[in-house]
Structure 1
Amino acid sequence: MREITVATVQMKPELGNPENNLVKMSDYISTIASQQKVDLIVFPELITSGYELGVQFTELAQRVPGPAVNLMAQRAADVGVYIAWGMATKERVESILYNSALLVGPEGELLGQYHKVHLRGEERMAFREGFKLPVIDTGEIGKIGMMIGWDLAFPEVARAMTLDGAEVICCLANWESSYIDEWKTYVRSRAFENAVFMAAANRVGNDVTMDFGGESMIIGPRGKLHAYLDSGEQEMRKQLELDLKKALDKGGDVQAKIEEFKEKVDELKAKADEKKEADAKPADDKAKAEEKKELEAKKDADAKDKKEEEKEKEAAKAEKDGKPDDKAKAEEKKEIEAKKEEGKVIAIQQPLVAEVKAEFKKLATAEGFCVARIDLDEVRRYREEFQTLQARQPTVYKQIVKRY
């Protein structure tokens, strides 16, 4: 068995501040290495600078080797790991910039770099396209390929690296939240269709106009999820609960109204679940459920009518006796107070909704890292199984090849 430990870091860089970002990366390296023995750490795309910088990349891009590369090489040597990260690099000619991924080894040596091939529209204003798909033979942790962001959407990139012997492909990305489902699908697809490990690191937070979705993961050659870091939904939920608590503290008696609202929501959810169950049953069961529902509704309506009738009788009796209807007045007073409370709820909820929307914009998704222990021999075993099937069914395999 050739087992290695891989970590993917989900980090929010500070836009246009390479010094602070490199310090933050260094802290992550120390934290990960102190918690377990790790062989490879993967950071996201353009992690030293942030994404939405346009022409500012001209000032922030560095030569290779340069200050950033030297620092990462030193940190790799300090803790004895391989480190892959993304940054803007430049050639001897100052105007030629690349969106690059770099790999340094545990001896502090630069093992290789990759320039992003598939640039998005806005990236073309700053960067030049790469044209090579290198696979780096590290010996110790197998053959490593690297791709960046939108390269993931093109099957040919991962396939070319696989044909060159890649066993682990590091995907460094700045993938937006609105397209996060595509991200998850692409990562798993590239791993499964090429029988390779995918170590995918996506950043979080926001720059100027773009929000990034995280969901960093490590996928095996059979499509198995080995490690995963979610987008921070739980952290957001906790924050919203705190906001709600603040609102309740301001409102005092409004808490009962909010609790009542929550109960209604739960009741609606329960009814929705019942409907799903009813839809899943055969037609006759569904008909019975509908009939039962109608009977219950009728029963509720009858009970309501009976209650109204009793109220009318009590009011008539009170009028006949010449006494004020204290109960009716109490009910009326209660309704007026309820309306006032409802007004308070609305008054509190309106600014709360606006505050929550603002918080969703500000709140970054969860930073952190995920770690997995993987067996590189799994790549070989799975490919051998496929080749065995290919040998057993040569005619079928040839037909498939012709089709594609």
Structure 2
Amino acid sequence: MTATRMTRPPGPTRIAAAAAHFGRDLDHDLGRIGRLIDGARAEGAALLVLPDAAIGGYLADLRRPDPDALPPALKPDDPIFEQVAAMARDMVVCVGFCEADGDDRYNAAVCLTGDGVLGRHRKVHLPAAEHIAYRAGNAFAAFDTPVGRVGMLIDYDKTFPESARTLALDGAQIVACLSAWPASITNAAPKLSQDRQSRLFDLYDCARAAENQIVVVSSNQTGAAGGLRFLGQAKVVGPAGNILARTWAKAGLAVAELDVAGEIANARRVLRHLDERRPEVYRR
């Protein structure tokens, strides 16, 4: 199932990032995805970024994942993606899941419309003991969509500037960051807003947008799974690193309208970060 590539005409685009909780019950997850798609459509959104592990849920423990309680692993052609595509119709939707490739499992994401799949990504950077549950991906690649050229990151990927930079150099105008990002597991704060990971989550979103002069659409899970508390904080960030819309810690949709190409051109009018790099100096 591969979609026809097309480019959206210049002008304002409404973009939505979701904060919501997802677990192991696939029927329940599909129902929630459908409601979020309906809500984004009612807001006029052309792009919706759902959280990491929206299909099947995330791990319950990052330090000692239980091998017998991992998310269900789905093949890339599993019929569940046809169901999501049917709900998406003309909307571009990014959604996270656990991908099966033979005996290997990947924390993965797919971007699709009702016409088919536009792009895929496997999480490259695995934190803590996530390597017990998943193998690491090995590539970052942008792809064309009806809302412009898009790239995807999953969770910990956005901690590393090289991840978003690689996508920006591949022409990505929009980077979708799909997360199941929890509060600190070593130094929990009494309130999520005071948590160290809460601050870093926002910092990375804004920094990746500003340093590459692109749009970042950041989704995240909410609620709890096992010993993990998820932060929420879905947001849309402009190419100056400015937060255009956000959900804070609660479930919901962050929706912003902007002329993606126009905002990027304006941000790069004088300072063009990608063109002004000195890669020959950065090499060891």
Question: If the length of structure 1 is used for normalisation, what is the TM-score?
Answer: 0.60
Number of residue pairs aligned between Structure 1 and Structure 2: 255
1:334 is matched with which residue?
none
- Do 1:4 and 1:374's aligned partners in 2 also have CA atoms closer than 8 Å? yes
Q: Residue 57 of structure 2 contacts residue 71 of structure 2 at CA under 8 Å; is this kept in 1?
A: no
Q: Distance in 2 between matches of 1:187 and 1:58?
A: 28
Task: Show the counterpart of 1:3.
Answer: 12
Aligned to 1:379: 264
Residue 193 (str. 1) matches residue 211 (str. 2): yes
**1:180 aligns with one of 174, 180, 198:** 198
Correspondences of 1:149-228 after superposition (within 5 Å): 149-178=155-184, 179-228=197-246
**Match for residue 86 of structure 1?**
96
* Cα deviation 1:167-188 (Å, max 9, x = unaligned): 0000001111231111011110
Contact kept, 8 Å, 2:59 with 2:70, in 1: the verdict is: no
Question: How does 1:6-155 map onto structure 2 within 5 Å?
Answer: 6-14=15-23, 16-33=24-41, 35-52=42-59, 54-56=66-68, 60-77=72-89, 80-91=90-101, 93=102, 95-105=103-113, 107-138=114-145, 140-155=146-161
Aligned-pair CA distance for 1:386: 1.3
- Of Structure 1 and Structure 2, the greater helix share is in 1
Larger radius of gyration: 1
Once residues 88 and 272 of structure 2 are traced to their aligned partners in structure 1, the CA distance between those partners, rounded to angstroms, is: 38
Long gaps (5+) in structure 1: 232-365, 392-396
Partner Cα separation in structure 1 for residue 77 and residue 86 of structure 2 = 12
Q: Secondary structure at the match of 1:55?
A: coil
Give the residue type in structure 2 aligned to 1:46. Answer: A
Aligned match of 1:293: none
1:302-355 per-residue CA deviation (whole Å, 9 max, x = no partner) reads xxxxxxxxxxxxxxxxxxxxxxxxxxxxxxxxxxxxxxxxxxxxxxxxxxxxxx
The CA distance in 2 between the partners of 1:22 and 1:223, in whole Å, is: 32
Distance 2:272 2:95 in 1: 34
Q: In structure 2, what residue type is equivalent to 1:28?
A: L
CA–CA distance in structure 1, aligned partners of residues 125 and 220 of structure 2: 17
Query: If the length of structure 2 is used for normalisation, what is the TM-score?
Result: 0.84
Distance 1:401 1:198 in 2: 27
Structure 2 residue ranges without an equivalent (≥5): 1-9, 61-65, 185-196
Amino acid at match of 1:177: A
Q: Which of the pair is proportionally richer in strand? A: 2
Question: Sequence identity, in percent?
Answer: 25
Task: Sort the Cα spacing of 1:192 and 1:70 in 2 relative to 1 into closer, same or farther, 3 A.
Answer: same
**Contact 1:170/1:199, CA 8 A, preserved across alignment:** yes
**Partner Cα separation in structure 1 for residue 47 and residue 67 of structure 2:** 32
Give me the whole-angstrom Cα distance separating, in 2, the residues matched to 1:383 and 1:101: 29
- After TM superposition, the runs of 4+ consecutive aligned structure 1 residues lying more than 6 A away are none
Q: Give the one of 250, 253, 257 matched to 1:369.
A: 253
Residues 209 and 86 of structure 1, relative CA distance in 2, 3 Å threshold: same
CA drift of 1:162 comes to 0.4
| Counterpart Cα distance in 1 of 2:71 and 2:213 | 40
